[in-house]
């Protein structure tokens, strides 16, 4: 059972804090003893966010919640059946031949039924000029509501469940419907228009609307080789903040290596040192290289061991795959990444994004609102910036937060964390098979959790280290 994925689903359907706590306690405890499917738990969560949910969710056991959810579905179907949707209320636009179809809402009853079952305000759209479509299963139950050329929404206006995305995309292609980049990102599709000239035929053939590529698809260049680019950070942040902590959106070792190789290929060996030119691009593959730039919007890459890389340019993009690399930036909005072992990375720029996948990496930021992430084992991460967002997924990682109004998440195995008064912290706990069994968040309030004190998560509780 992927608890983090389950928490994300709860977030999508706008579950309140009581439901979130029920997942972290009741669900985790029950699934440690019994095997249940993800679909079953999601089914229960749909019930717990409904108007029919009990007031005191914390007192409900898992078996009780399952039984009540099954009865709720019966009531929901009964109530939904009271809304008499006839064949004239909808029009089939695309039949997938496996029970699923997309219909256009025509009559008022279709709008009412859709709004009830999907928990949205689509009923108020009846009578206006917007075309509304609904993805229906073999039981005619809706799973996605779509407004022509505007939005694509799941239940409760949340994201579409992954198992329905393929149907939605096929429909969009069939009807020639377009939605904005943000809506496509909810479907898991990333805009790659900036990289169009680099894409090979294989990748271009998989693009939706000649612009979007599904997140799990690889970027293949004209030579048939996989690549990546730091330009993707303009569309997808290195680190995302969720209600449950921080999430690193890339497989850092692969992403950084491919992005740096791509950057070095672009500069074609034209090494520029200590340049003050704006929009400069600097690359080095030599060991012990030292590279510096003060140009704005600079892009700097190195694959050399023990490289030293620095930039004071605003919006700089810096990457290194060399071992023991030292990377620093004082530019605002800088994006810094390293996949080298024992790397040392620092930024004093505001809103900087910093990531490392190297073992024993040391990462620090003094910039306000900085976002810092590491997937390297034994990493040491620190931030003194206000409102910093810090995360690590590497084993035995240590996170030290000294900035006020910050959030830190250490989801590494045997990780520990400490922070100043008022900081929110998140820790994860795993069993002997390295399976996650608990994720817990709390604020350092000076009473239950003390400031400047290392904590680990043991038995679902924060324990002083």
| Phi, then psi, of 150 in degrees rounded to 5 | -130, -60
User: pLDDT per residue over 169-226, tens digit each?
Assistant: 999 999 999 888 877 887 888 999 889 999 999 999 999 888 999 988 999 999 999 9
376 vs 395: CA distance, rounded Å? 7
Q: Which residues pair with 347 in a beta bridge?
A: 329, 365
Sequence ranges of the domains in the chain: 3-80, 90-158, 189-227, 253-464
So what's the pLDDT on residue 275? 42
User: What mean pLDDT do residues 142-162 have?
Assistant: 85
Mean pLDDT check: name the lowest of 40-44, 139-143, 202-206: 40-44
So what's the pLDDT on residue 317? 65
Residue that has been written with the tokens 């292609």 in this structure: 173
What separation, in Å, do the N-terminal and C-terminal C-alpha atoms of the chain show? 28
Closest by CA to 261, choosing from 308, 305, 227, 299, is 227
Confidence of residue 64 (pLDDT cuts 50, 70, 90): very high
128 vs 176: CA distance, rounded Å? 21
Whether pLDDT at 20 is above 60: yes
So what's the pLDDT on residue 204? 94
413 vs 429: CA distance, rounded Å? 7
So what's the pLDDT on residue 237? 76
Tokens coding 206: 């998989």
DSSP 242-297: ETTEEEE-S-HHHHHHHHHHHHHHHHTT----SB--TT-EEEE-STT-EEEE--TT
**Percent of the chain beyond pLDDT 90?**
30
Whether pLDDT at 53 is above 70: yes
State whether residue 11 is helix, strand or coil.
helix
């Amino acid at each position: 059972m992927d608890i983090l994925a389950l928490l994300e689903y709860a977030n999508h359907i706008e579950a309140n804090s009581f439901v979130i706590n029920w997942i972290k306690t009741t669900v985790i405890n029950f699934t440690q003893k019994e095997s249940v499917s993800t679909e079953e738990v999601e089914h229960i969560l749909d019930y717990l966010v409904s108007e029919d949910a009990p007031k005191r969710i914390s007192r409900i056991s898992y078996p009780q919640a399952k039984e009540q959810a099954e009865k709720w579905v019966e009531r929901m179907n009964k109530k939904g059946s009271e809304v008499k949707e006839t064949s004239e209320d909808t029009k089939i636009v695309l039949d997938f031949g496996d029970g699923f179809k997309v219909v256009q809402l025509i009559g008022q009853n279709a709008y009412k039924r859709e709004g009830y079952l999907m928990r949205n305000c689509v009923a108020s759209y009846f009578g206006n000029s917007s075309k509304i479509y609904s993805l229906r299963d073999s039981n005619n139950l809706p799973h996605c509501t779509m407004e022509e050329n505007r939005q694509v929404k799941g239940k409760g206006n949340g994201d579409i469940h992954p198992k329905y995305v393929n149907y939605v995309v096929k429909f969009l292609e069939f009807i020639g419907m377009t939605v904005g980049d943000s809506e496509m990102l909810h479907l898991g599709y990333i805009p790659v228009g900036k990289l169009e000239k680099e894409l090979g035929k294989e990748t271009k053939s998989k693009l939706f609307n000649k612009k979007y590529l599904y997140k799990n698809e690889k970027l293949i260049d004209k030579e048939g080789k996989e690549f990546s680019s730091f330009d993707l950070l303009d569309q997808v942040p290195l680190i995302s903040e969720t209600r449950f902590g921080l999430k690193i959106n890339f497989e850092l070792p692969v992403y950084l290596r491919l992005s740096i190789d791509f950057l070095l290929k672009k500069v074609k060996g034209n090494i520029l040192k200590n340049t003050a030119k704006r929009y400069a691009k600097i690359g080095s593959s030599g060991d012990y290289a030292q590279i510096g730039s003060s140009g704005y919007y600079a892009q700097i890459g190195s694959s050399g061991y023990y490289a030293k890389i620095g930039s004071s340019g605003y919006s700089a993009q810096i990457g290194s795959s060399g071992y023991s690399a030292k990377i620093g930036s004082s530019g605002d909005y800088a994006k810094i990444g390293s996949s080298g072992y024992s790397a040392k990375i620092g930024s004093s720029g505001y809103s900087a994004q910093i990531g490392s996948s190297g073992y024993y990496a040391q990462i620090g930021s003094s910039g306000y609102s900085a976002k810092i992430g590491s997937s390297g084992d034994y990493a040491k991460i620190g931030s003194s910036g206000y409102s910093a967002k810090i995360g690590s997924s590497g084993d035995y990682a240590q996170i030290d937060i000294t900035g006020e109004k910050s959030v830190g998440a250490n989801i590494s195995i045997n990780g520990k964390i400490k922070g100043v008064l008022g900081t929110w912290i998140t820790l994860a706990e795993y069993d002997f098979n390295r399976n996650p069994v608990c994720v817990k968040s709390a604020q350092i309030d000076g009473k239950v959790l003390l400031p400047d004190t290392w904590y680990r998560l043991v038995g679902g509780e924060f324990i002083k280290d």
